Chain A
Amino acid sequence: MPKLTLKFKKDSTKIREYQLERGQSVNIGRLDTNDIVIENLAVSGHHAKIDWAGNGFLLTDLKSKNGTFVNDQIAISHWLKHGDVITIGKHVLIFEYAPDEAQPDAGDKKMGETMVMDTGKYRSMLAKNVSSKVSQVAETEKIGVLSFLAGGEGEVELTKKLTKIGKNASSDLVVKGFFVGQTAATISKRPDSYYLSYVGGFSKPKVNGQAVKESVELKQFDVVEIGSVKMQFMHKT
């Protein structure tokens, strides 16, 4: 368990030591009702408190008259780290974990936790990190298209998450042929790329002349053959 060492001024000898317990709160102030009593007029009756929160200790100033300082910085609330020096009036409390004790991450603890950006804050933080030019680059989504080489005309844009190709009239791309399956193949739009998968039918779809047994990623200018239809795959921005 971490301890707090009370001293009058930083370099003087210690007055007392207090053990902090996980799950317990500690009140600091001038009045006797506090857990840590500092009898000095510079200290407010209820000056500050330390709470166990999550996996660390949180120091909160209780709107004291003369304020609470951590490492010479005024603190309203502060996640205590090993070695922090809390100044209350002329007294100091040194916060230290026991040598072999697990400590919360040394870095800014709050940053370790997942959080959601609200848009305003997001933009201002981004502005500090990225030049404005970069953030203005619009997200360009590449759309895949199949353009007919044989067995049809024009091109088909693959805007659907799953495009069905087959003999069945409900297919997105109807391909005729005795050996073509009701649904012969599907093209799936995944975050990174398009993938063609074989579904059913006697004749398997071919990509660059190779029969597809399961699933294959479509690359720029790949040639897709299904039944009598021959098409070329392309990315269009």
Chain B
Amino acid sequence: MIIVESAGITDVGRKRKGNEDSLFTDDEIGLYVVADGMGGHQAGEVASRLVVKTMEDYIRQSREEGGESPEMTRVDKTLSEEANRLIAGVHLSNQVVHQISQSKPSYRGMGSTISAAYFTNEDTLIVSNVGDSPIYLIRNNIIETLSVPHTVVAEQMAMNPGASARFGKAFSHMLTRAMGIEKTVKPDLCEVQCFKNDMLVLASDGLSDKVSPKEVLHLAKNRTPDKACRVLVELANERGGDDNITVIVLKVKAVKPEKKGIMKIFSRIVGGIT
């Protein structure tokens, strides 16, 4: 059981007319999602909303039912049950966006990124992403990126660090994967042990283009999630606010492992010694 304090803001920024980002936070089911939509004529908004709504509905429903639901056709044995559930939600959202995008000419080609964090009933945290919306983990005064950016530049850099210099600005926003573009999608995922005072920041590129991970660390670490969100959005706006800005900040207040009977008492005593 992980107890989390959360806050999330989405802001239109200073240049764009509409907000194509969507977010979802729910401490009860332990799900947090940022989606950054793309596609003209409000299609980006539609895509990102579909992503967060589908994720919410799917996770809520499958938690209630428990076990494996029909959508979990591709159960990956290298993943935990909860991780499979999150992945199944991502696959379902992708299908929904893809189908809707085929239904109306103005929606054609719309897509979205997704960055999701999901807390399990035990003591781990699962994050999954498609696209370039980052997920940062702040622990012991260090910030790490748990998401894998699916951009041309990042992927080329991974293959050949020297070649990245050759890419111009043109490539900085070019995604190699996104939700709803194709029938299937391959999300990246990682599951980590969760500790008290861990902080997690999920954002859209409206933030990460303007504020470096280091700055995120300094601005977020000693603030409440609510305050941290506001400070981060303000800074991105001060620096131009060229895109929609969405930030979710989470703080782990407590991790309570499920211990039984005498072990509970033992671990309390010994926990004080070691």
Contacts and interface: CB of A to CB of B under 8 A. Distances in A.
A105 B270 CA distance: 61
Contacts of B83: 161-162
Nearest to A204: B274
A162 B36 contact: no
B146 A191 contact: yes
B176 A111 contact: no
Contacts of A236: none
Interface in A181-237: 186, 188-192, 195, 197-200, 202, 204, 211, 214-215
Contact of A191 (B16, B178, B190): B190
Contacts of A55: 15-17
A104 B205 contact: no
A200 B191 contact: no
B78 A111 contact: no
A41 interface: no
A130 B124 CA distance: 40
A54 B17 contact: yes
B152 A117 contact: yes
A107 interface: yes
Given A55-B15, A116-B181, A214-B195, A130 B156 contact: yes
Given A137-B160, A188-B191, A215-B193, A117 B140 contact: no
A114 B192 contact: no
A134 B40 CA distance: 34
B9 interface: no
A102 interface: yes
Contacts, number: 130
A112 B173 contact: yes
A122 B40 CA distance: 21
Contacts of B40: 53-54
A114 B242 contact: no
Given A55-B15, A108-B170, A139-B158, A114 B175 contact: yes
B36 to A, nearest CB: 7
Interface in B179-233: 181, 188-193, 195, 205
Interface residues of B, number: 58
A101 interface: no
Interface in B147-168: 147-148, 152, 155-156, 158-160, 163, 166-167
B175 A117 contact: yes
A104 B173 CA distance: 16
Contacts of A114: 36, 38, 113, 131-132, 173, 175, 205
Contacts of A53: 40
B191 A162 contact: yes
Nearest to B156: A130
Contacts of A115: 38, 173-175
Contact of A102 (B15, B173, B192): B15
A130 B166 contact: yes
Chain A residues touching B, range: 35 or more
Interface string B102-115: 00000000010100
A113 B40 CA distance: 10
A113 B144 CA distance: 26
Contact of A186 (B124, B145, B205): B124
A117 B174 contact: yes
A111 to B, nearest CB: 5
A19 interface: no
Contacts of B173: 111-115
Given A126-B152, A129-B167, A159-B78, A116 B111 contact: yes
Contacts of B166: 129-130
Q: Which of B15, B16, B188, B259 has the largest number of chain A CB atoms within 10 A?
A: B15
B152 A215 contact: no
Contact of A54 (B14, B16, B80, B163): B16
B188 A190 contact: no
Contact of A214 (B111, B139, B190, B242): B139
B272 to A, nearest CB: 12
Given A191-B148, A202-B274, A113 B78 contact: no
A112 B156 CA distance: 19
17 contacts: A55-B17, A102-B15, A104-B15, A105-B242, A112-B242, A114-B132, A117-B175, A122-B176, A130-B156, A137-B159, A161-B78, A161-B190, A190-B190, A191-B145, A197-B195, A215-B139, A215-B195
Given A114-B131, A115-B175, A215-B193, 7 more contacts: A114-B205, A137-B160, A161-B83, A162-B83, A190-B146, A191-B145, A214-B195
